[in-house]
Amino acid sequence: MKALGVHFLLDVAGAPFATLDDPVLVETLLVDAVKMMGAKVLGIHIHRLSPQGVSGVVVISESHLTIHTWPERGEAAVDLFTCGDVVRARTAVDALARALGATKSDVEERVRGVGSQ
């Protein structure tokens, strides 16, 4: 049975406080990643946390891209689920880690769907 899609879990560390605490920049980087995938943005919600941090979701034609940042730790957790082109998604996730300024990153990929395991 064909998989539903691939879920990418990206953890980044060593990113600059200013990058991870800027909701406008974070939104721009997420949208750039979606464009790199060749996907279409259906909706965006970015929220500035207090006292710092950003949480956001970009709903895309292939599913979603989310982020939660901890600027005080230089860390972010990114979640991308896509039923689109996996190679382009993998490239976009790697580029997003670099764009966030991460000095260290880890990506886990998981094929989704009960019948695809």
Supply 31's token pair: 């949208």
Token couple for 34: 């979606």
pLDDT digits (tens, 9 = 90+) for 4-52: 999 999 999 999 999 999 999 999 999 999 999 999 999 999 999 999 9
C-alpha closest to that of 73 among 27, 20, 22 = 20
Backbone φ and ψ for 66, nearest 5 degrees, come out as -125, 160
Catalytic residue among 64, 68, 105, 116: 68
Please state the pTM of the whole predicted model. Answer: 0.93
Q: Which two tokens stand for residue 18?
A: 């200013």
pLDDT of residue 69: 98
Domain map (residue ranges) of the chain: 16-61+87-101
**Under CATH, which number does the domain 16-61+87-101 receive?**
3.30.360.110
Instruction: Kindly state the tokens that stand for 50.
Output: 């207090």
pLDDT cut 90: percent of the chain above it? 91
Known catalytic membership, residue 55: no
Query: Binning pLDDT at 50, 70 and 90, where does residue 116 land?
Result: low
Q: What is the mean pLDDT of the chain?
A: 95
Active-site residue 83, yes or no?
yes
Is 105 annotated in the active site?
no
User: pLDDT category, 117, cuts 50, 70, 90?
Assistant: low
